Amino acid sequence: DYTSVDAGGSLNVKTGGDLTTGNLTINTTGTAAIDGAAKVTTDTTVFGSLNVNQTGALDTATLGIGSGGIANIAGLTNIGRATTPGNLNATALLVGQGGAFQTKDLKVNDGGTISNRGDIKVVGNYTQEAGSIYEIGAANKAGDLAKIVADTATINGGTVLIDTKGVKGGKHVIVETLLGLTGEYEKYTARTDSGYVRALLDYDEYNAYFILNLSSNFAAAALTRNQQAELWWSICAYHD
């Protein structure tokens, strides 16, 4: 089965109602409001607007949000294997460039994956558990990394995967909180495509950072300032 909300159309699953479908696509300027129960056995794709309200529950394999798409979840979002049902329950959350996702609380459980190139906002707590993945790439043409913005964050392990294609050098915030961050990721992997680039994670009491800069091998390869500048831009040319 396949359910499509076309441009200018609307879908409303009312309180006490239910919807079961194979795929759900909300196209540009289409809207969907979930106040009852919706089960999507494969993918939910949003280019318009999706609202899962306090009385609603959306279960889907993957929630993907494309450019111009907006998803608002009134309560808990569970990604991965969860013990407590949320208003949104999915295996993976994919937010593309120009997409936006907002939820009250976000928990990335064992087996869950977030892939972020857009805007993720949590108006509560963001929790990352062991066995989960947070994958990040460039959010815009300026080369800034995408990030999660939350009131608080609790990181109990998990893996960070960073695609540096299109990402400028320097220090990037990947998790930003208003009230504080505790814990660290268990491990991270960054694809740099160059032995002259060094990548690492860093933390303070509020934020988690990804740092992309030149390694100690760089000085040996280019002795003058002009040579360093030319080599740096040649290393980063694939970013464009």
- 88-95 vs 57-65, strand pairing mode: parallel
pTM of the full predicted structure?
A: 0.89
> Across the chain, where does the E strand assignment appear?
2-5, 10-13, 18-21, 23-26, 31-34, 37-46, 49-52, 57-65, 70-79, 88-95, 100-108, 113-116, 119-129, 133-136, 147-156, 159-163, 170-184, 187-191, 197-203, 207-214
- The reported pLDDT for the residue numbered 133 is 98
| Residue-wise pLDDT tens digits, 135-161 | 999 999 899 999 999 999 999 999 999
| Residue-wise pLDDT tens digits, 58-117 | 999 999 999 999 999 999 999 999 988 999 999 999 999 999 999 999 999 999 999 999
